[in-house]
Chains A and B, each alone.
Chain A
Amino acid sequence: MSYKWNHVASLQRPEIKLESLKEDIKEYFKISGWEKKLQNAVYSELSVFPSPSHPAAPPEHLKEPLVYMRKAQGSWEKRILKSLNSMCTELSIPLARKRPVGEQKELLNKWNEMGTDEPDLSLFRPVYAPKDFLEVLINLRNPNYENGDSLSFRTHLGLIQVPLKVKDIPELKEFFVELGLTTGQLGIDDSTQVPPELFENEHVRIGQKVLAEQDSAAAQQYIRQGSPTALRAELWALILNISSQPEDILYYEQLKTNVIQHDLLVDSLIYKDVKLTASNDDYYFVFEDYLYQVLLCFSRDTSVLGHFAYNSASPPKSYIRGKLGLEEYAVFYPPNGVIPFHGFSMYVAPLCFLYHEPSKLYQIFREMYVRFFFRLHSISSHPSGIVSLCLLFETLLQTYLPQLFYHLREIGAQPLRISFKWMVRAFSGYLATDQLLLLWDRILGYNSLEILAVLAAAVFAFRAVNLMEVTSLAAAEAVLADLSTLKVMPLLQIFLFATVT
């Protein structure tokens, strides 16, 4: 960074004219690359924060404008915290404790192979699983909305019964215009039968140019057509505006020190989750140790609390022992305010294919979480929130595959019961990794999670013939149990652009 100070020093030289100062500074920003960095930073903020609202709106509105949603999220949080506290009391384990020096040393030695540790986790249960959360969503109601008892063609036959606005296929086609039939895609037009000169080579060349320019906005636009494998790690970092500065590495090391010094109850929940999910996964079992290194640090990262400004959820509060109710003794628990649930580690796992340096992996995951993943397990009206995604999924099925939808409903196999877990996990652990990464490319490119709902519907459309023949929920689950052979881009393209509606 020394050149920066040189330039500042040069501004004090007599050649610098007051009249041209403004232009000179602008010029300086351009040539030093700082203009780009500032642009990227601003772009990043724009992508993350909601657009400015009414000046009189209170901060809760930024989190979630609809009162009934806020209330529902509040009660759900109370339930989770109650469950956590009772587990704590049952097992007589404190929520947090300082580790004795000997234990600290041991953990430091084992930092790179925590997976070999086999603590007794049999008494721990995940605080909640996606299906528990689904039940809450199913019971959501808008008290101001009167459905009327009479069924009409407008009646929504799915599980979600709140009136949120979701896109229909014409609107989705417009939103996802770059996925259209006439635009080249990675995931389709790079298959072995297609000569690379037709699309792939040029696409790679453009990708390299985008990286050279270090332009976040351009990268985001570019990645809508998919990212070449070799460029993906850098492109994602550029879009998320992550650059590994020394202070970032230092910050990660600080978090690591926190892990060494204090033991949290959630650590056991994390261990359990990793052992139950990623360790058994064909693709991700190799990275088990990285998952601990990321998630344990994540729990202690108070900078994550910042995202609660625009998250309908609020961090759980706990009290120092014996000081229940006294606000001076309230702490957020866990320090980052995020209680992991069953499958949480699967948000991190696919990233291990891209980043093998722990602090970079950590930064990328944290940014992905505070931009996207948090929406998948909090109750809100946001178009990318899980409630909207569920409603979008059900509406797409009911509108465009009514026969299938009706049939499944009749046999007691509401489609959302099957697809919910896919969407909550952003399909991690269900798709082959290369396909998952192509899907997540588009999440980044469109800055939206709606593609998850569209893909879920497309999967049902793809297996419709088999699904029409099943007669039970279990049989429907079986038809949709294995998604590992699916190719996501053709499915999406066909569903959006090639199905007769």
Chain B
Amino acid sequence: MINWMSVQTIRNVFSVETGYRLSDDQIVNHFPNHYELTRKDLMVKNIKRYRKELEKEGSPLAEKDENGKYLYLDFVPVTYMLPADYNLFVEEFRKSPSSTWIMKPCGKAQGKGIFLINKLSQIKKWSRDSKTSSFVSQSTKEAYVISLYINNPLLIGGRKFDLRLYVLVSTYRPLRCYMYKLGFCRFCTVKYTPSTSELDNMFVHLTNVAIQKHGEDYNHIHGGKWTVNNLRLYLESTRGKEVTSKLFDEIHWIIVQSLKAVAPVMNNDKHCFECYGYDIIIDDKLKPWLIEVNASPSLTSSTANDRILKYNLINDTLNIAVPNGEIPDCKWNKSPPKEVLGNYEILYDEELAQGDGADRELRSRPGQSLGPKGGRSRDSGRTVLTTWK
């Protein structure tokens, strides 16, 4: 039996108090502590920890450039927790006082509670010393993260957009994940302007459909969405094939790295699988940035095309999670045959990657077939063969 649960229910099912035990034939669509990846503050924490570990090990992945920025692992915009890191944030803010930052509540979704600031005064109440602080600093419910706002997003037709990609994880150790081929771009309905007067206009800056849906220009036929294939065609036509392939390779890379970062702390319960919604923004230098990962990506649809996509998504997800539509047995090896992948492609398979160094046969053409790339492995001591270095 497949139990499709909300995050609320998951918390109850796996909580120590209830003493609920899943039987062998029950599988469930979340990992117990998925929030290590899906809460904005924990995701950043885990990635920072992962990077430090690699640095300590002397791994080539953790290489830095002359400015001290990670060469291969700098894919999350500079982020601080508030109020915990308030002072650190202020230091960073003062370094570039004309920059814009985005405040996001840790526990909310759909763009709720997000706002932009460009002056310290706008976030006074998160200051730890503030007497007017109505915060209980330990309360995780009111916690915010503040990240450097990417104010040079890649624009198409003058509009800002972000990428929503679906990634299915069937197991964290060994890491086995799949990328849904039919991701999409979400466009803002209003023309992008970095001007400070528009900071309050959420229609300009946030691409969540939940917000865009209420804009005056929201179109219910295409829903302001493009397929990833359209994006690819546009970029290849206007920028060239190499830089486009490099961009997509980097996107795959950052997804895999983010999963590797949380893999050690994930409760790899064999009853679990999970389909995440990755939000990625591309800047005008064609560098992708990981904005956040969603545990319950919206499965409602805003257009007819959307409905078909989400239906196929659920269908393909279940086909991988449960082989042959049979009664699930959580003891199976979680290695589905190629035919059931549907619109999913193997993004990274740790077992296969470790198994043979010469796994090139799974890569047919750049950027299109994913396959385990090169000799990337868990101990990351070996040199990594990636296509973009």
Contact = CB atoms under 8 A, between A and B. Distances in A.
Whether both chains belong to one complex is answered with yes
Interface of A: 112-113, 115-116, 192, 195-196, 228-230, 232-233, 279-283, 285-290, 352-356, 433-434, 437
A286 B226 contact: yes
Contacts of B241: 228-230
B215 to A, nearest CB: 11
B358 interface: no
Contact of B237 (A229, A286, A289): A229
Interface string B224-235: 111001100110
A233 B226 contact: no
Contacts of A287: 157
Interface stretch (B55-63, B100-108, B275-283, B361-369): B361-369
Specify the main secondary structure of chain A where it touches its partner: helix
A280 B191 contact: no
Contacts of A352: 157
Contacts of A286: 156-157, 159, 187, 226
A112 B219 contact: no
B365 A230 contact: no
Nearest first, the 4 closest Cβ-Cβ pairs linking A and B are A286-B157, A229-B236, A230-B241, A113-B191
Nearest to B303: A282
B238 interface: yes
B240 A230 contact: yes
A440 to B, nearest CB: 12
A486 to B, nearest CB: 15
A230 B237 CA distance: 5
A441 B229 CA distance: 19
A116 B191 contact: yes
A229 B239 CA distance: 10
Given A192-B364, A192-B368, A228-B241, A289 B190 contact: no
Interface of B: 156-159, 187, 190-191, 217, 219, 221-222, 224-226, 229-230, 233-234, 236-238, 240-241, 305, 364-365, 368-369
B158 A280 contact: no
Given A192-B365, A282-B222, A354-B238, 17 more contacts: A116-B191, A192-B368, A229-B233, A229-B236, A230-B241, A233-B237, A233-B238, A279-B219, A281-B222, A282-B226, A282-B305, A288-B157, A289-B158, A352-B157, A353-B237, A353-B238, A433-B233
Given A113-B191, A116-B217, A285 B224 contact: yes
Contacts of A112: 158, 191
Nearest to B230: A283
Nearest to A285: B222
Contact of A116 (B157, B190, B222, B234): B190
B269 to A, nearest CB: 36
Given A280-B221, A286-B226, A356 B238 contact: yes
11 contacts: A115-B217, A195-B364, A196-B365, A228-B241, A229-B236, A282-B305, A285-B222, A286-B157, A289-B157, A289-B158, A353-B234
Nearest to B224: A285
Contact of A280 (B187, B219, B236, B364): B219
A375 to B, nearest CB: 26
A290 B234 CA distance: 15
A355 B239 CA distance: 10
B305 to A, nearest CB: 7
A192 B230 contact: no
B158 A113 contact: yes
A362 to B, nearest CB: 16
Nearest to B185: A286
Contacts of B365: 192, 196
Contacts of B159: 286
Interface centre among A281, A282, A354 (most CB of B within 10 A): A282
A298 B190 CA distance: 25
A116 B190 CA distance: 8
A171 B200 CA distance: 64
Contacts of A285: 219, 222, 224
Contacts of A280: 219, 221-222
A285 B305 CA distance: 15
A128 B140 CA distance: 62
Contacts of B156: 286
Nearest to B157: A286
Contacts of B233: 229, 353, 433-434
A12 B237 CA distance: 46
Interface centre among B219, B236, B238, B368 (most CB of A within 10 A): B238
A354 B226 CA distance: 16
Nearest to A291: B157
Contacts of A279: 219
A229 B368 CA distance: 15
Contacts of A355: 238
A432 to B, nearest CB: 9
A374 B275 CA distance: 50
Interface centre among B219, B225, B368 (most CB of A within 10 A): B219
Interface centre among B187, B230, B364 (most CB of A within 10 A): B230
A290 to B, nearest CB: 6
Contacts of B234: 353
Contacts of A229: 233, 236-237, 241
A228 B242 CA distance: 13
Nearest to A355: B238
